[in-house]
């Protein structure tokens, strides 16, 4: 809350304090088609607007005189005590959001400085070993897009283990890219494909699939990437194989149906990550509205959540609906655009200051007090 007190004392903040302000400033800064990549989504984009609207339909019941002047926002996640129940959701091709193309390292540095865990995307522009090393003592997680090549998938997981990542998050909702009109309109994908190769070209199995070293023939490396990126044939039958790849905590991202939660539990996963990918993948798939049923079906298994979190109050609401930890997506992407590591740290500080004050002013001193009955439906 240093930021809050600095503001009360009359200090002007370095960056905009609200999501709307961050969004506008980032839009002014970015090349148009890259802006469309980060901010855009599937179909007519009502899915991503719906994510924000879903939060607006909830209010937080205020309780007075409950002695919430000192708050504790810490939570335990897979044996790690986090000082706050948030994390950096995986964002691919983060390098397009910073001047020097090292957006992954910039994000890892923000994670190290803030103690907020990073989930590092398969589509890193920096090799995962370097990103993991930059995380310092903050636990990091590796997000796997399961390639259409089992040996490559296994190699990614081995590298993640050797680098010190503390868990594997398998994203299931992106076996092919969503129907994103803005990206298709600008034909942005080849540029992004070229930009996100570092984690692949630093992989021994990926390199073994190439006729020439990637530096000599980048086009062939990009083509190989396109051949192996997604795996449309992956089904529940493959879960045993995925589970068998690692003893690290294994989470499935994109699970929003209670029956899928039960199947995931049967397959021995350690956590569920409820998300609609920020409305970028399946059009019209809700996220927040499905969270309570996912939490119920998880029966105590940790449930991570993202999609539409724009403020500290949103964090409080997702926690009250049962999330164990809440993922920040586009807001930190815009922080990266505006100020690299410092911008991301700033955004996280704002979100946490607001979450903390929202809890305190509403009379809740700990995360454990945030249960479903602290929320009330707002009538339209």
Residue ranges binding ligand FNR (CB under 6 A) = 38, 48, 51, 89-92, 121, 123, 143, 171, 253, 275, 277-278, 280, 306-309, 329-330, 333
The answer to whether residue 277 is catalytic is: yes
Residue among 322 and 333 whose Cβ is closer to ligand FNR: 333
Q: How far apart are CB 240 and ligand FNR at their closest, in Å?
A: 22
Minimal distance, residue 23 CB to ligand FNR, in Å: 11
Query: What is the 3-state secondary structure of the chain?
Result: CHHHHHHHCCCCCCCCCCHHHHHHHHHHHCCHHHHHHHHCCCCCCHHHHHHHHHHHCEEECCCCCCCCCCCECCEEECCEEECCCEEECCCCCHHHHCCCCCHHHHHHHHHHHHCCCEEECCCCCCCHHHHHHHCCCCCEEEEECCCCCHHHHHHHHHHHHHHCCCCEEEECCCCCCCCCHHHHHHCCHHHHHHHCCHHHHCCHHHHHCCCCCCCCCHHHHHHHHHHHCCCCCCCHHHHHHHHHCCCCCEEEECCCCHHHHHHHHHCCCCEEEECCHHHCCCCCCCCHHHHHHHHHHHCCCCEEECCCCCCHHHHHHHHHCCCCEEEECHHHHHHHHHHHHHHHHHHHHHHHHHHHHHHHHHCCCEHHHCCHHHEEECCC
Of the residues 102, 186, 257, 277, only one is catalytic, namely 277
What's the closest the beta carbon of residue 254 comes to ligand FNR, in angstroms? 8
Nearer to ligand FNR, 124 or 364 (CB): 124
Q: Of the two residues 71 and 280, which places its CB atom closer to ligand FNR in the complex? A: 280
Residue nearer to ligand FNR on the CB measure, 71 or 330? 330
Tell me the CB-side half-sphere exposure of residue 261, using CA atoms within 13 A.
Answer: 23
Q: Min. distance of Cβ 93 from ligand FNR in angstroms?
A: 7
CA contacts within 13 A on the Cβ side of 147: 22
Our CB check for ligand FNR shows the closer of 111 and 307 to be: 307
- Beta bridge pairs of residue 378: none
Taking a C-beta distance cutoff of 8 angstroms, is the pair 298, 59 a contact?
no
Distance CA 298, CA 92 (A): 28
> Please, what is the minimum distance in Å from the beta carbon of residue 51 to ligand FNR?
6
Smallest distance from ligand FNR to CB 63, Å: 28
Measured from the CB atom, the residue of 224 and 275 that comes closer to ligand FNR is: 275
| Smallest separation (angstroms) from ligand FNR to the CB of 359 | 20
| Rounded Cα distance, 125 and 132, in Å | 13
User: Nearer Cβ to ligand FNR, position 73 or 256?
Assistant: 256
Looking at the annotation, which residues are catalytic? 277
């Amino acid at each position: 809350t240093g930021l809050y007190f600095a503001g009360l004392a009359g200090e002007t903040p370095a960056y905009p304090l609200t999501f709307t302000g961050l969004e506008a400033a980032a839009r002014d800064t970015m090349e148009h088609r890259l802006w469309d990549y980060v901010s855009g989504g599937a179909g007519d984009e009502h899915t991503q607007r719906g994510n924000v609207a879903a939060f607006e339909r909830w209010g937080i019941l205020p309780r007075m005189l409950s002695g919430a002047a000192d708050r504790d926002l810490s939570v335990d996640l897979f044996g790690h005590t986090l000082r706050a129940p948030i994390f950096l959701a995986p964002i691919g091709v983060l390098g397009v959001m910073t001047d020097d193309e090292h957006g992954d390292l910039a994000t890892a540095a923000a994670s190290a400085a803030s103690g907020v865990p990073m989930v590092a995307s398969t589509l890193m522009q920096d090799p995962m070993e370097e990103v993991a090393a930059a995380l310092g003592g903050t636990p990091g997680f590796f997000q796997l897009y399961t390639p259409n090549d089992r040996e490559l998938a296994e190699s990614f997981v081995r590298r993640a283990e050797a680098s010190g990542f503390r868990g594997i998050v398998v994203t299931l909702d992106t076996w092919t890219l969503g129907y994103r009109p803005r990206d298709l309109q600008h034909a942005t994908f080849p540029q992004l494909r070229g930009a996100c190769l570092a984690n692949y070209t630093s992989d021994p199995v990926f390199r073994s699939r190439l006729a020439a070293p990637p530096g000599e023939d980048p086009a062939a490396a990009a083509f190989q990437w396109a051949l192996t990126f997604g795996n449309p044939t992956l089904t529940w039958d493959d879960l045993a194989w995925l589970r068998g790849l690692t003893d690290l905590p294994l989470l499935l991202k994109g699970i929003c149906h209670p029956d899928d939660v039960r199947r995931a539990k049967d397959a021995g996963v350690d956590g569920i990550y409820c998300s609609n990918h920020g409305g970028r993948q399946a059009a019209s798939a809700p996220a927040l509205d499905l969270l309570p049923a996912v939490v119920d079906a998880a029966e105590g298994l940790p449930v991570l959540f993202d999609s539409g979190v724009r403020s500290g109050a949103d964090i409080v609401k997702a926690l009250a609906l049962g999330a164990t930890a809440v993922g920040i997506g586009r807001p930190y992407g815009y922080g990266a655009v505006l100020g690299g590591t410092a911008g991301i740290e700033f955004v996280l500080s704002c979100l946490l200051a607001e979450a903390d004050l929202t809890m305190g002013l509403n009379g809740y001193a700990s995360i454990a007090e945030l249960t479903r009955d602290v929320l009330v439906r707002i009538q339209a």
